Amino acid sequence: MGLPRQVTVRMNEAGMPVAVGSRRVEQLRDEWRVQEGWWTRGPVHRVYFELVLEDGSNTVVFCDRRGGRWYTQRA
């Protein structure tokens, strides 16, 4: 999967991704949240989405809730 890369994600009013970079989201396949390490100096609080984009490719994006930035691990 590689290291996460920062990406621009556009959301709709319901908080669901509608575009990743310049590619439109065709389908939301899965959504999950990760909250761990809250007892450490570097806790993780993320929301992940597995998406199918308009070109048929699958991607996983996540929002780092601590910084509000979006990343992709597959695109």
Q: Could you state, in chain order, the average pLDDT of each consecutive group of 10 residues for the chain (75 residues)?
A: 87 95 96 82 85 96 89 76
Q: Enumerate the β-bridge partners of residue 34.
A: 46
pLDDT computed for residue 66 by the predictor: 78
pLDDT digits (tens, 9 = 90+) for 9-19: 999 999 899 99
| pTM: predicted TM-score of the whole model, two decimal places | 0.84
Residue that the structure tokens 């929301």 belong to: 47
Residue 54 CA to residue 17 CA, distance in Å, equals 13
